[in-house]
Amino acid sequence: MRLAIAVPLVVSLLGAGSIQLGRWERSQSFLDYLHKSGLPKELYYSLDGEERELVSELRAGALYYTLFDDNGTIEQVLIPINEELQIHIYREQGAYGIALIPIDYTQRAESFWIALEGGPYNAILDATGNVGLAYEFLRAFKGSIDFRRSIYKGDRVAILYDQKYRLGQPFGLPRIKAAMVETRGKRHYVFAFEGRFYDEQGKEMERFRLIRPVRARISSPFTLRRWHPILRRWRAHLGVDFAAPAGTPVRAAGPGRILFAGYKGGYGKVVIIAHRDGYKSLYAHLRSFRKGIRPGRFVGQGEVIGYVGSTGLSTGPHLHFGLYRYNRPINPLRVVRIAKGRLSGAKLRRFKGMVARYKREIEELLAQKPERTRVEKIKLVSYIGEEHGAKRTD
Ligand SMILES: [Zn+2]
């Protein structure tokens, strides 16, 4: 679709031309894309190993922008890799160049409450058009409230959250700060603290736990974006690297179904496992797969799935371990934890202060009329796979 709207970031550089908004196609590789768009393949080959790893991360449904000049020649393309970093293809003196650059976005604090008539998923979707928000809400309360049984007409939901906007479009998953469900007059709260959800008492809500796939030193941590001062380039590392010798058995971090076992660009030989609650784990640069590991098979937590190697673009044997929620990379170490999920000491005191603040905010919100913050549907939310875009029964 051609957009008539002026998108300031790019248009200001040119003053003319048109912008096309596209969605990254399912199982389209970066090379496929270059070929289809008539862009030189050299753009891919000029990337180094780490950058090619990132390019393997391009996912179905991600929104990207193409800027054409008046003759229909591509001037610039912006393709997001994650919520922080994007591929920038540009034309300079007739030749194309490529670089990774940070994504410009703004963040807005938003909030709303609604009275329920049925399940909260569709109610939140109807009120806000925000698929990601509906999903995050369900995740926040997962395991504590059975929405199928315990929701009655007139029950209420209130949410405080932050939403990123990129070029005027909602972007990335919203970050819920606090949420409340009132069923038959009783209020249940969840609060986000250091990337995880807790109840009012500081007890962790989520039960999903992963184990480390290998016992080895971490040689490279997770980062959504960082500036590499020596290479003078922007980087991201969408997983954790473990420095393990070649041949070390790699174990499934959690129970799940094998989605993929094969070759994937810079990642080399890869196994991807789908877990519950929208989680996927990825194991890259494997030397080989364990016999019988193929798509569709279920594996238990700790089951050997393959062996450490250095296939793909890898400087030496190591395991690259990635974790995704709704196809969005997250830091695996946040979920791989052994400690009991209960806050204590100074952390608990800090948490309690935050809880009091957010509860007051929710109270003030409920005193207002129920608000429908967004009228238009947010259909094109990047980083939520297409399979998560539809309505569902909850
Ligand atoms: Zn890695």
pLDDT digits (tens, 9 = 90+) for 329-346: 888 987 776 455 788 999
pLDDT, tens digit, for every residue of 163-203? 988 777 788 889 999 999 999 889 999 999 987 889 999 98
Q: How many whole angstroms from 252 Cα to the centroid of ligand 1?
A: 17
Please, what is the average pLDDT of the chain?
Answer: 85
Measure 185 CA to ligand 1 centroid, in angstroms: 49
pLDDT over 90, % of the chain: 47
Q: How far is the CA of 322 from the centre of ligand 1 (A)?
A: 8
Distance 89 CA to ligand 1 centre (A): 24
Distance from residue 263's CA to the centre of ligand 1 (Å) = 15
What is the chain's alpha carbon radius of gyration, rounded to the nearest angstrom?
22
Q: Residue 131: which residues within 8 A CB-CB, separation 6 or more?
A: 125, 378, 381, 384, 388, 389
- At 16, is the secondary structure helix, strand, or coil? coil
Domain extents for the chain?
A: 2-102, 106-208+341-388, 217-335
88-108: average pLDDT? 92
Cα(134) to centroid of ligand 1, in Å? 31
Ligand 1 center to residue 240 CA distance, Å? 6
Phi-psi region of 134 (alpha: psi -120 to 50; beta: other; left: phi over 0): alpha
Q: Flag whether pLDDT at 247 surpasses 80.
A: yes
CATH assignment, 217-335: 2.70.70.10
Q: Give the pLDDT band of residue 253 (cuts 50, 70, 90).
A: very high
Residues 6+ apart with CB under 8 A from 137: 120, 121, 124, 157, 159, 176, 179
CA of 220 from ligand 1 middle (Å) equals 7
Percent of the chain with pLDDT over 70: 88
CA distances from 175 to 140, 304, 369 (A): 11, 34, 23
> In degrees rounded to 5, what are phi and psi of residue 18?
-135, 160
- The rounded Å distance from CA 101 to ligand 1 centre is 19
Which amino acid is present at 317? P
Residue 221 alpha carbon to ligand 1 centre in Å: 8
In angstroms, rounded to a whole number, what is the distance separating the alpha carbons of residues 162 and 10?
Answer: 25
pTM (global) more than 0.85? no
C-alpha of residue 117 to centroid of ligand 1, in Å: 46
pLDDT of residue 233: 86
Distance of CA 241 from the midpoint of ligand 1 (Å): 5
Q: What distance in angstroms lies between residue 239's CA and the mean position of ligand 1's atoms?
A: 6
- Using CA atoms, how far residue 356 sits from 127, 177, 320, in Å, is 26, 13, 41
Confidence of residue 377 (pLDDT cuts 50, 70, 90): very low
What is the average pLDDT across 237-244? Answer: 94
Look at domain 2-102 and name its CATH class.
Answer: alpha beta
Identify which has the larger pLDDT, 127 or 337.
Answer: 127
pLDDT at 371: 61
Q: Are 106-208+341-388 and 217-335 the same fold in CATH? A: no
Catalogue the E-assigned strands of 279-325: 279-289, 298-299, 304-308, 319-325
Assign 381 a pLDDT band (cuts: 50, 70, 90): very low
Tell me the residue type at 269: K
Topology adopted by domain 106-208+341-388: Nuclear Transport Factor 2; Chain: A, (3.10.450)
pLDDT at 375: 39
pLDDT at residue 132 in the model: 85
Average pLDDT over residues 13-29: 79
Tell me the CA–centroid distance for residue 49 and ligand 1, in Å. Answer: 10
Strand 169-183 and strand 18-23: pairing? unpaired
pLDDT of residue 68: 92
Top pLDDT among 127 and 361 is at 361
Residue 15 in this model has a pLDDT that exceeds 80: no
